[in-house]
Amino acid sequence: MIEIRNINKSFGQRHVLKDISINFERGKTNLIIGESGSGKTVLIKTMVGLITPESGEVIYDGRNFLLMSEKERKDIRKEIGMLFQGGALFDSQTVEENVMFPLMMFTDMSLEERRERANFCLQKVNLPNAHKLYPSEISGGMKKRVAIARAIALNPKYLFCDEPNSGLDPHTSILIDELISEITHEFNMTTIVITHDMNSVLEIGEHVFFIYKGENVWKGSKEDILHPEDKRLRDFVYASKFLQRLLAGQ
């Protein structure tokens, strides 16, 4: 479980995160939704320590991340897997080397064992035949899957996904969503997904948090989100004209 308490972050005069407190449950896919520029990525980067907030607490299963020494943070980061918007695969390494990279850095596994683990992770994300390809030789959807394989290579307790569906076609988006949901339940991870894709919300959103202009203004489940009382959330959920017509037809 990850708890964040009263997180505040400003960039110059811009107050990006305003006193945000959320509990993210273990074994669930926790979704953070909101418009572009609402502070979702800043929030997730604050949680993993890439951005330091002005105030607040980030607690990983009772351990306060922001009060930790650099060494303690380093240890906890080995329990974190992260999927970046663009995949963030290392261009100079093959798919297999990308997945083996964290194993090479943090375990004493032999090359054979590392290969075996990378193979397992790549099969998990349905990429059994891409080992020797470079990131520049694979599609956007494949990059995302390789990034997921790399993120789960060390068996993390916490998985962060920053807009895993951006730039993907609807079919691949659903595959990625299902994959994230599947590994979350299989490995009992605390998974946090940032998205503004309503399909993802309705597909895998067990716990959904709506961020509006840096504030957490709503929380609920994928079932609740279709009938929101909050106007800001309703405008977000029913932003598409198609859905607006559907809603009016009801």
Cβ–Cβ under 8 Å, residues 18 and 215: yes
163 is written with which tokens? 């807009």
- Report how far Cα 32 is from the mean position of its chain's Cα atoms: 9
Contact between 105 and other proteins (CB under 8 A)? Answer: yes
- Residues 206-235, interacting with other proteins (CB under 8 A): none
Closest CA to 206 of 184, 176, 179: 184
In angstroms, rounded to a whole number, what is the distance separating the alpha carbons of residues 177 and 24? 18
CB of 84 to other proteins, least distance (A): 5
Q: Which residue lies nearer to other proteins by CB, 101 or 187?
A: 101
From candidates 15, 77, 213, 219, binder to other proteins by CB under 8 A: 77
CB of 65 to other proteins, least distance (A): 12
Q: Which residue lies nearer to other proteins by CB, 88 or 133?
A: 88
Contact between 102 and other proteins (CB under 8 A)? Answer: yes
Q: Which residue lies nearer to other proteins by CB, 75 or 223?
A: 75
DSSP H or E stretch at residue 186: helix 170-187
Q: Which residues contact 56 (CB under 8 A, 6 or more apart)?
A: 4, 5, 6, 7, 8, 19, 20, 66
CB of 48 to other proteins, least distance (A): 5
Q: What is the CA radius of gyration of the chain?
A: 19
Q: b/e for 194-230, b at 16 or more Cβ within 10 A? A: bbbbbebbebbbbbbbbbbebbbebebebeebeebee
- Site track for other proteins across 30-49, x = CB under 8 A: ---------------x--xx
From candidates 104, 239, 243, 247, binder to other proteins by CB under 8 A: 104
From candidates 63, 78, 131, 185, binder to other proteins by CB under 8 A: 78
From candidates 6, 14, 50, 245, binder to other proteins by CB under 8 A: 50
In angstroms, rounded to a whole number, what is the distance separating the alpha carbons of residues 177 and 175? 5
From candidates 5, 15, 18, 85, binder to other proteins by CB under 8 A: 85
From candidates 25, 75, 116, 137, binder to other proteins by CB under 8 A: 75
Cβ–Cβ under 8 Å, residues 120 and 154: no
Q: Which residue lies nearer to other proteins by CB, 168 or 233?
A: 168
Number of residues that bind other proteins (CB under 8 A): 23
Q: Specify which residues 23 forms β-bridges with.
A: 3
Contact between 248 and other proteins (CB under 8 A)? Answer: no
Residues at the contact surface with other proteins, assessed by CB under 8 A? 45, 48-50, 73-75, 77-78, 80, 82, 84-86, 88-91, 101-102, 104-106
